[in-house]
Amino acid sequence: MSRKQIYINNAGIVSALGSGCTQTAAALLENRRGLAPLTLFSLLSGKPLPVAQVDSIPLDSRLPRTHQLAMEAALQAVDPAEVSIDAMVIGTTTGGIATTENLLRSGETNPDLYRYHGLGTVAEQLAAHFCCSGPVLTVSTACSSGAVAISIAMELLRSGQATRVLAGGADSLCRLTYFGFNSLQLVDPDGARPMDTGRKGMSVGEGAAMVLLSTQKQNSTMAEVAGYGLSCDAYHPATPHPEGKGARQAMAAAMTDANIHCTQIDYINLHGTGTPDNDRAESKAIKALFSTPPPVSSIKGATGHTLAAAGAIEAVVAGLAVSREILPANQGCSIPDPELIPPQKIPERHPLKVVLSNSFGFGGNNGSLLITTPRDLQQTNTALSRPQLQVLGAACLTGAGDLNTTMAALQLQQPVAGLPENSEFSANLPARKIRRLKRLARMGLALATAARENSGTKETPHDIFMGTGWGALSETHDFLKRLEETDEQFPSPTDFIGSVHNAPAGQIALFSGSTGANITCSGGNYSFEQALLSAELLAGDAPCCVLGADEYHASFTPLFDPSFSPHTPPADGGGALYMEQATAATRQYPCLQTSFYAQAIENSTVTALVEKLGGTAAIHQRFGLVLAGIPAADQPLATAQLRYFSKRVDLNIQVVDYRKYVGQFASASAVAAVLATAILLNRKIPAAFAGENNTQLKRPGILILGLGRTITAMECYLP
């Protein structure tokens, strides 16, 4: 199939090997090792383990280290002469946690000092600096985040929603990951030795890499991203499938996407963490696909495992491999494990045209990228159309309870904000399987299960797309608290595994056996919208689950969430949708789609929204209800935006600030989406939303607006 080609027109990279493509290429050719004992923060006891620390980042700065690393790489990737960046997709797992840890240890209680804690603030900082006007997405799929971010960016370009996208990943060293991986006994005290017979584990690192992707080839073009493949093991929260089934699926999907046969691949950049299980599983997966594997190597013995940055760093290294003819060596391996594929021992200058780069992470999240020299193909300018996704089943959790009790309360004009009871929404889940899970993971499982049951089908969703603004606060809090209480001696491995933002989505996949794409987005108040947009870009023909959920935490929510205040009641919850591509047979089901996603730039963004929705006449004809999301932190701005929108289109339909009813939490828009589908099917607006107006829904659609620093629009309608 002829389609748009995606080019890496420029790239930025920073790691323990150096800063910039030139320094990195030189370090790879010299087979340099970037591991050294930790110096970033002091330990209460014990000898510092080898880590891959970046020395070019100042220790004292207004911004957390992850943000600084991301900015350094982005400044290298974006030419100041570039006119604009249409969109950004950034992967991260740590966000501002390194700064948060220091603040918590000092007993700081000023919420303003925690303003960069959220994962989404990394991308927001970049977007503000580079004046990005379009979608700004944050991906958190553990150690595959950077590769997944590039995959989503590719689909934004292929679909015609952007022509220039900055994509990549960034993560910094912090106590959470340093002690967390050590608690799992996954750290080699002598430094990572991927593929070595005596390997004992990984070495934690930090870094960032960004690629400027475009459909237009330039003189500076480094390489082409020819294809990607995503999968989920659905096997274990922290251990890969022993036969590498998910890894094999991701690699095969990348080759299919690129229309490249395994015999054409010149080099495989391994995920290769140095843990016995990971290296063994990846080697088995490669042997299953390749009768004669090409040269393979892992660079993590040199760069350390940079977590969310790893997939992006290795994508840039793959670009250097094909553009500068560098075949990297497998640093740290002295005696290759005879059970595994023999790795490349020394770096070489070697012509390479096609490189396969693997990135695998917690939750069984797998991502593979195919990086090539720019190919001479018959390219089309036609954008791939986005499928209509229909809602076959829906579920929500609010302070009132499930969807039925929530709708009943709204019909009685009662607010539904509050905290759902753990015992109630966990009642139908197997006690043995959820006994170690805390609030957010249980919410996610309950919502996904209820949405599938509501659809009336037993078919497993193939893909999982989840949005969460703050992730698993309970596990993060409990891990850091125990770390401090035990003088860093006995951190909880269970809490560490559960603390990653994608842990709930991984549990859903494990529970349901979902082996397709498993994506978690964490963009603050717009996390659910990002998950839905990702589903529209990545979901195939099979059913998928799209959900959003956040938990309230008594200690962390007041510090992290600027929309929370002592004057508002604690609230959390979420919503889930069991969806699939619309067909003639499913026309009776509501469709839900993102129609608009842009950064707010005065009234011009609202004007663009009106135009995207078809203008005043179309809005009047299509929508019978507007559900507006007004985050408390952005209330003056969001209220002004809604006022301007209403004046611009002369609205004569009911407009509801749904957060007044469901509560102030990041994933409230997921609840709004579920309520919209229920209202549309019943053709009746609950009395709380109708006010003094008629409760009959007179038009065929409902518009869900997200307002504030970002403006979004989701449409719920019958096809």
β-strand partners of 89: 137, 167
C-alpha 493, offset from chain centre: 23
- In order, the DSSP letters of 235-247 are S-SSS--TT-HHH
Residue 305 is among the residues annotated as catalytic for this protein: yes
Strands of 267-388 (E only): list them. Answer: 267-269, 296-297, 326-327, 348-349, 354-361, 365-372
One-letter amino acid at 548 equals G
Structure tokens at 283: 């080697």
C-beta neighbour count of 163 within 10 angstroms: 16
The angle formed by the CA atoms of residues 51, 368 and 338, to the nearest 5 degrees, is 65
Strands 573-581 and 701-706, sheet pairing: unpaired
Q: Are the C-beta atoms of 474 and 438 separated by less than 8 Å?
A: yes
For 302, the 3-state DSSP assignment is helix
The Cα 513–Cα 515 span in angstroms is 6
Do residues 122 and 129 touch, judged by C-beta distance below 8 A? no
What residue ranges in 557-653 does DSSP mark as E strands? 573-581, 591-599, 623-629
Radius of gyration of the chain (CA): 24
β-strand partners of 224? 7, 372
Say if residues 296 and 343 touch (Cβ distance below 8 Å). yes
Phi and psi angles of residue 690, each rounded to the nearest 5 degrees, phi first: -80, -30
- Pick the catalytic residue from 67, 117, 132, 143: 143
Q: How many CB atoms lie within 10 A of CB 309?
A: 35
Q: Compute how many other C-beta atoms are within 10 angstroms of the C-beta atom of residue 445.
A: 26
Catalytic residue among 271, 462, 477, 501: 271
| Cβ-contact 679, 702 below 8 angstroms | yes
Q: How far is CA 287 from CA 148, 232, 344, 627, in A?
A: 24, 19, 16, 52
Read off the tokens for 522.
């964490």
Q: What secondary structure, in 3-state letters, does 311-341 show?
A: HHHHHHHHHHHHHHCEECCCCCCCCECCCCC
Return the ∠ at Cα 190 (arms to 186 and 191), rounded to 5°: 65
Residue 598 in contact with residue 134, Cβ under 8 Å?
yes
Q: Choosing from 67, 241, 305, 477, which is the catalytic residue?
A: 305
Residues with catalytic function: 143, 271, 305
